[in-house]
Each structure stands twice: as C-alpha cells, then as structure tokens.
Structure 1
Amino acid sequence: MLKTAFSHYINNFKGFSREIWILTIVTFINRAGTMVLPFLSKYLKEDLQFTYNQVGWIMVAFGLGSMLGSWLGGKLSDKIGFYRIMIFSLFTSGVSLFFIQYITTFWALCIAMFVLMTIADMFRPAMFVSLGAYAKPENRTRALTLVRLAVNLGFAAGPALGGLIIMGIGYSGLFWIDGASCIVSISIFALLVKEKKKVVHEDKSESAAAIKSVFHDKIFWVFLFVSFITAMIFFQLFTTLPLYHNEKFGLSEFQTGLLMTLNGLLIFALEMPTVGFMERKGFPKIRIIILGSFIMALSFYLLLINVWAGILVISMICISIGEILTFPFSNAFALSRAPRGQEGRYMALYTMSFSLAHIISSKVGFEIISKLGYQTNWFFMASIGIIATLCCLWIKKALHKEKVL
C-alpha cells in the first residue's frame, strides 16, 4: 500500500523536459541562497542602527522596486525575450549584492534597495514566460508547481543556513553568498539551456486570444484583484500570525517554527499530487481557485475561536490547502489568459499583484491590530477572502459568456 502511494507520488514528477528540471534546480539554488531577505530588517535595525521608521521606509523602497522590476521584466520579455532578461537579472543582481553591503547611509540604502529589487524581480515574470516555452502544454501547471516546490524548499533551507552564516562570519557573509548563488545558478542555466522562442499553446477553455491589450481584459483585472487579496491574506502567515501565537497562546519561536514547518511539509507532500490529479481530470482552473480562496478565508474565520491552541493547527492546515489549490492554478490561469506575444505583460501584472500585497499586507494587519485587536484583523482578512471568492464566481460566469460569444 505504502509502495503504491509512493509510486503514484513519484509519477507526478515524470514527463518534464530537461530544461524544466534545470530551471527547477537553478531556482532552488537561487532561493536557498536568498538569505539576506529574512534577516534584512534585523540587519538594518541592529547592525546599521536605523530607527523603526527608517527600516519601514527602506522596506517600502524594497517593495516599490519589486513592483517596477516585475513590470519591466514582463514588458522586456515580450520585446527582447525571456532568456536574456533572466540572465541579465540574476547576474547583475548577484554582482550588486557584493557591493550593497558597503552602503550604510539611509537615503543611499533606499535608492540601492529600490535599484536592486528592480533588477532582481525582472527575473520572475521572465521565468514564468520561460515555462510556457519549455513545458509541454499538458503539464504546464505541474511545471509551475515543480518550480514553486523548488522555491519553497529553497526558502526553507535559506534562513537556517543564513542564521549559521551570521553566527559564523557576520552579515557580510550573507551578501557574498547570496550574490554568489545568483551568479552560479544563472551560469548553470546559461551553460545548459539554449534559448528557445516562446511557443503559445492555446487553452481553448480559458485563453483570450481575441483580446488585443491586457488593459482591456476586464476578466484578467478582476482576477488580479483576486490574486492580490489571496496573497494579502497569505502574507499574514509571516507577519501578524507569529506575534499572535506568542501574545495570545504563549507559543515559543520553536513552536511557531513547527507550525510553519507543517505548512512546508503539507505543500511538499500534497501540492504536486493534487495538481497532477486536477490536471488529469481536466478541472477548470477557475473552479479550483474558487475552492482555494474560500478555504483560505475559512482558515481566518477559524482563528476567531481563540480559546483553544489546537485551532492554530487546524487553521494552518486550511491555509496550506488553500495555498495548494489557489497559487499553482492562479499562475497557470494568468499564463493561459495571455494572448500571443503578451505573456510577459500578463505575468508582470500577476507578479506585481503579489509585490503590492507584500507591501500592504503587514501594514494593514498591524494597523488593525494596534487599533482594534487581533480578532478584528482575522475577521477582516477572512471577509476580504470571501469577496475574492465571489469575484472568482463572477470570473467563472464571464468566461462562460466569453465562450458563448
């Protein structure tokens, strides 16, 4: 029985092209080396002695650079090709990380962080477009999921390794190793993967080939709002929730870490089989996103039950299931929605919705908590999740009407 289950699990990883596997390994190396980000606010506060207000502004510059980079990366991918953008982005941001450690004044760091993130986040939409070129049409969603798995595993390994490096050689070591990981990973990609022109595989059920511009695609803009809301809810996992664990239930950092690990393990064990099953059965992507956004909203309504610590585990399981159903299929929906020659623009706006959510999520969450308390924040996050679910239902009807017309 166990052998059969393991065999089924392994089968979900079959059928990918060589390029997809190389891209996955490169993504893992890059993300495992991304050690500066988890410790950035700590570095700015403790090492450079900035005030909380200054740290906040540097993080805003960080987020704005991320948004601009996402847009530029997508636009330029359509103009000059994803391959060149990927190589330029990772190589240049790797070299930049070597030098940014020597910038220690407030305004210089605001500008440096903005420029660094503009260059670094050009990579994300270009990478999404590359999946459209290197993945077969029948397993494109699984290819997106495989790369997401590499990102999650990399992020799980990076902070632990980063903590050891800080203890051993200090914060400067993070900048050197993070920069080196960018250069090494993209060098592997450039050596082993040849440039390939984008191949558009029409998704007859959800493609919008007739649409001339992303700015006139009403369905896609409503979908971007859904992506923004679900990302905003999800980012509470890394901002307000860890504080709530300690302040309400007295959980230690280790116990909070175990809850985060539960999320990572569920993603690792269930995401690929779930996506594989849904793809084989041919479920429409928007239906899966509807279910995922509803479950994510439900996970925050559950937090209103604040008399039993066990609810934190149940809520975390719901968040994880919501993540598994929402994010891989959102990626795939955005890519399938793009008309020929506009894949980069569509994926740029999609990644920008996450960057914007990253900037706003913690600010809104902490503002609500400071004025009205945790319960109000959970109710607010769950309620906007329901609004996102209702928007998905509208998208489903609009897609049906689009097909009829």
Structure 2
Amino acid sequence: MRSIARQYIRSFEGLSPEVWWLSLVTLINRAGTMVIPFLSLYLSESLSFDLESIGWVMSAFGLGSLIGSWLGGKLTDRLGYYKVMYTSLLLSGVGFIILQYLQTFSSLCLGIFVIMLVADAFRPAVFVALTAYSKEENRTRSVSLIRLAINLGFSAGPALGGLIITHLDYAGLFWVDGITCMAAGVLMLVLLDPKRVKTETPSVINTENISPYRDRSYLLFIAATFLFGLVFLQYFSTVPLFYKDIHGLSEGAIGLILAMNGFLIFLLEMPLIKYLENRSVSTMGYILFGILLTMLSFLVLNLGSWSGLLIIGMLLMTLGEMVAFPFSNALALKMAQKGKQGAYMALYTIAFSFGHLFGHNSGMQLASWKGYAFTWWIMILTGGISMLMLFLLRPILRKERISC
C-alpha cells in the first residue's frame, strides 16, 4: 500500500506552484457554479415556467457558452490570459447574484446569455495560462490536474447546491454561487499576479501568425474532436435513459454508475498520465487509443441484456476519457501558433460546445427513431470517422514538424 501511495504522490511531482494555484482557483470556480445543475428546476418550481420556455432559456445558456468561448479566445490574445480570467471570475460572480432578481422570460434569456458569455470566456484563457505556468514536458499532467479540479468541482457543486436549497432556498444558492466565483477571482489576483510568478515561454514550431479558422490541419483536428465529443457526451444524456428504459435501473443506481466515472478520474487519471508519459507511444497514438476504448464501450452495450455490461461499458469509457482528453488538449496546445493561442484554444472549447448543442439531441432522436442498439452502432461509426480524420492528420503534422 505504501508503494502505491508513493507512486500516486510521485504522479503530482514536478508541477509548478502556479499550476497548483490555478487548479485551486478552477476548483473553487467550478464548485461555485452550483446554480447550473438546478437551473431548470428553479425555472420550473420557483418561476412556474413551462417546458417550452425552459428550453429557450437553456438554449440561451448554450449560445452564451459558445460565444463566450470564442470571445474569450479573442480577448486572451489581445489582453492576455490573466486579465481575462480574473475579469471573467469577478463579473460572472456579480452576474449570478443579479440573476435571482430577473423574473421575466425575456430578462432571464438575456441574463443567462450574458452570464455564460462572461463565465465561459474563462475556458480558453485557462488553457493558454497552462502554456505559461507549466514546462512542456509537464503540460499533459498539468492539463490532467486542471481536469481533476474541474471534476472535483462539478462533483461537490451539486451536493452543496442541494444542501443550500434545502436550508436557504434558491436565493441562497445564487448568493453562494456569486460569492465563490468572486472569491476565486480575488484568490487569483493575490496568488497569480504575473509580476510575481515565473512563466515559461511556450515552444511553438509554427511561425506564421494565422487565424485557426484558416489553419486547415487544425480545423481537421477540431472536426475530429467535435465528432469524438459528440460520441462521448452520449454517456451524460442518452445512455442514462438506456439504463432506465432497457435495463430498468433506478435513478439511484444510475447515479452510482455515473459517479463511478468521476471517482475513477479523481483516483487514477494523474498516475495513469504520469505512467503513459514515460512510454514511447506518441500523443496521437494515445488519442486514437482513447477514442477506440470509447467506441468499444458502446459495442459492449450491444452485447446482451446482462446489467454487468453497463459497468464494463462505463469502465471502458472512463479509461478512454482519461487517455484521450489530456493528450488531445496537449496536442491542441502544441498546434496553437504563437500570438494566437487564445483563438486556437477557444476553437478547441467550441468543438465541445457544438458537441453539447448537437450530441444530446441527435442521440435522443436516433434512439426514439431506431432504438438504442442502432444508436450505439452509429456512435461507433462516428468514433471511427473521428479516428480516420486523425490518421489523415498525423502525416500533415509531421510535415509541419509538430511532434504528435
């Protein structure tokens, strides 16, 4: 046991103090966004909105997230990641407090849109910050630490939110959410002042300062990322319905299976990435392997009616996620050209925003039309197309002398 514990601790060694502080800020911010999981309930129970109105408010949420990611990338390149991050944290905190006073449909649509636009400007900026706060050899593990903070935050947030609603009602939820976001912003001002911290100069091979929207190799990478995101996100919308409709699982059992995903990421991702970094496999090889594992998880769902297959499927998907996402993120940072890192990472986050916009609905429509088994075969095919795109991308990146 001591040997295992030592190995686990070693997986965190070598990361800069700034990456740790950035992870703490991210943890507080993500745990603080506890309004989001309860937004639809708040609109229904407290404001008596019908389902159609709630749907439009959630669409405003998605649109704000999408545009916020794009705007955050633009502002990061112009103003720097530091200003964008602390401004996003402070203003979104104020926005969440104000949100409780918006009562009409139109004001809520506008308010949610503006808040998400401001809040999600943080996302591309934090990835660019990693290029400054981490050494290149530690970048994949630095990404994993940020992912660990995000997963812990998203796990703690809903639990805390439920307790706050029980004891303080929804008004308390908005206040706590706003205060935690502002606290994260203040913490960043205190701990990550660029005048007092050391930064690394990113090593970027490309010299032409072009837009990522005209970088064909990067667009191919983003298209493959979008398709993988579309497949992966089925596990958080269509797959839970499959658990209930086909296997008859209760909400509690479904929750335990989904919770296993976050617990395993928390427990295993950092030591796994540390182990994989010391192997001779390329970054692209790991991304392809992660997608393959995710495809196999859907294949398992079609193998029979035994409920144990659901556990095996979740294990395969979780392992695929732990392998594919950190290395995919690291490759996006490698491909980002100097002076345009914000725009490049914004496009990377937008790929997942589009995955949210299209993935959940497409999976449910397919399941309703042709059934779950057909849907899982389509997801396997979609993952295969994503892998094919990455196979085509690999020789292009080698010609551009980008290590992949």
**TM > 0.5:** yes
Over the aligned positions, Cα root-mean-square deviation in angstroms equals: 1.7
> Which amino acid in 2 is paired with 1:175?
F
> Which amino acid in 1 is paired with 2:313?
S
SS at match of 2:193: coil
SS at match of 2:400: helix
> Which amino acid in 1 is paired with 2:139?
R
Q: Distance in 2 between matches of 1:128 and 1:101?
A: 31
| Superposed counterparts of 1:113-132, under 5 Å | 113-132=112-131
Q: Could you list the per-position Cα deviations for residues 307-337 of structure 1 after superposition, in whole angstroms to 9, with x for gaps in the alignment?
A: 1111100000011011011111111111111
Q: Please tell me whether residue 301 in structure 1 is matched to residue 296 in structure 2.
A: no
Confirm or deny: 8 A CA contact 2:261 2:314 kept in the other structure. yes
Q: Distance in 1 between matches of 2:106 and 2:367?
A: 30
Q: Please tell me whether residue 318 in structure 1 is matched to residue 332 in structure 2.
A: no
Q: What residue is the counterpart of 1:242 in the other structure?
A: 240
Worse-matched range after superposition: 70-79 or 51-60: 51-60
Confirm or deny: 8 A CA contact 1:235 1:361 kept in the other structure. yes
Q: Structure 1 runs of 4+ off > 6 angstroms? A: none
Confirm or deny: 8 A CA contact 2:134 2:199 kept in the other structure. no
Worse-matched range after superposition: 265-274 or 345-354: 265-274
Question: Where does structure 2 lack aligned partners over 5 or more consecutive residues?
Answer: none
Q: What residue is the counterpart of 1:59 in the other structure?
A: 58
Q: What residue is the counterpart of 1:30 in the other structure?
A: 29
Confirm or deny: 8 A CA contact 1:223 1:395 kept in the other structure. yes
Q: Could you list the per-position Cα deviations for residues 15-58 of structure 1 after superposition, in whole angstroms to 9, with x for gaps in the alignment?
A: 12221111111111111112111111222222222222221211
Q: Could you list the per-position Cα deviations for residues 273-302 of structure 1 after superposition, in whole angstroms to 9, with x for gaps in the alignment?
A: 121122233532111111111111121122
Q: TM-score, normalised by structure 2?
A: 0.95
Q: What residue is the counterpart of 2:272 in the other structure?
A: 274
| Superposed counterparts of 1:9-20, under 5 Å | 9-20=8-19
Q: In the TM superposition, what is the alpha-carbon distance from 1:364 to its structure 2 partner? A: 0.9
Q: What residue is the counterpart of 1:382 in the other structure?
A: 380
Confirm or deny: 8 A CA contact 2:44 2:50 kept in the other structure. yes
Confirm or deny: 8 A CA contact 1:86 1:127 kept in the other structure. yes
Q: In the TM superposition, what is the alpha-carbon distance from 1:114 to its structure 2 partner? A: 0.9
Q: What residue is the counterpart of 1:177 in the other structure?
A: 176
Q: Could you list the per-position Cα deviations for residues 111-135 of structure 1 after superposition, in whole angstroms to 9, with x for gaps in the alignment?
A: 1111111100000111111111111
Q: In the TM superposition, what is the alpha-carbon distance from 1:401 to its structure 2 partner? A: 3.4
- CA 1:306/1:42 → structure 2, altered by over 3 Å: closer, same or farther? farther
SS at match of 1:170: helix
Q: Could you list the per-position Cα deviations for residues 214-242 of structure 1 after superposition, in whole angstroms to 9, with x for gaps in the alignment?
A: 22321111111121122222222221122
Q: What residue is the counterpart of 1:201 in the other structure?
A: 202
Q: TM-score, normalised by structure 1?
A: 0.95
Confirm or deny: 8 A CA contact 1:200 1:340 kept in the other structure. no
Q: Distance in 2 between matches of 1:177 and 1:340?
A: 38
> Which amino acid in 2 is paired with 1:268?
F
Q: In the TM superposition, what is the alpha-carbon distance from 1:351 to its structure 2 partner? A: 0.7
Q: Distance in 2 between matches of 1:282 and 1:62?
A: 42
Q: What residue is the counterpart of 2:89 in the other structure?
A: 90
Confirm or deny: 8 A CA contact 2:218 2:335 kept in the other structure. yes
The match for 2:339 among 338, 341, 351 is 341
> Which amino acid in 1 is paired with 2:20?
W
> Which amino acid in 2 is paired with 1:301?
L
Confirm or deny: 8 A CA contact 1:91 1:182 kept in the other structure. yes
| Superposed counterparts of 1:221-236, under 5 Å | 221-236=219-234
Question: Where does structure 1 lack aligned partners over 5 or more consecutive residues?
Answer: none
> Which amino acid in 1 is paired with 2:381?
S
> Which amino acid in 2 is paired with 1:359?
L
Q: Could you list the per-position Cα deviations for residues 196-215 of structure 1 after superposition, in whole angstroms to 9, with x for gaps in the alignment?
A: 69744326xxx434463322
Q: Could you list the per-position Cα deviations for residues 228-269 of structure 1 after superposition, in whole angstroms to 9, with x for gaps in the alignment?
A: 122222222221122221111111121111111211122122
SS at match of 1:49: coil
Q: What residue is the counterpart of 1:47 in the other structure?
A: 46
Q: Distance in 1 between matches of 2:225 and 2:232?
A: 10
- CA 1:265/1:383 → structure 2, altered by over 3 Å: closer, same or farther? same
The match for 2:355 among 339, 354, 357 is 357
Aligned length: 400
Confirm or deny: 8 A CA contact 1:228 1:357 kept in the other structure. yes
Worse-matched range after superposition: 83-92 or 266-275: 266-275
Q: What residue is the counterpart of 1:168 in the other structure?
A: 167
Confirm or deny: 8 A CA contact 1:299 1:382 kept in the other structure. no
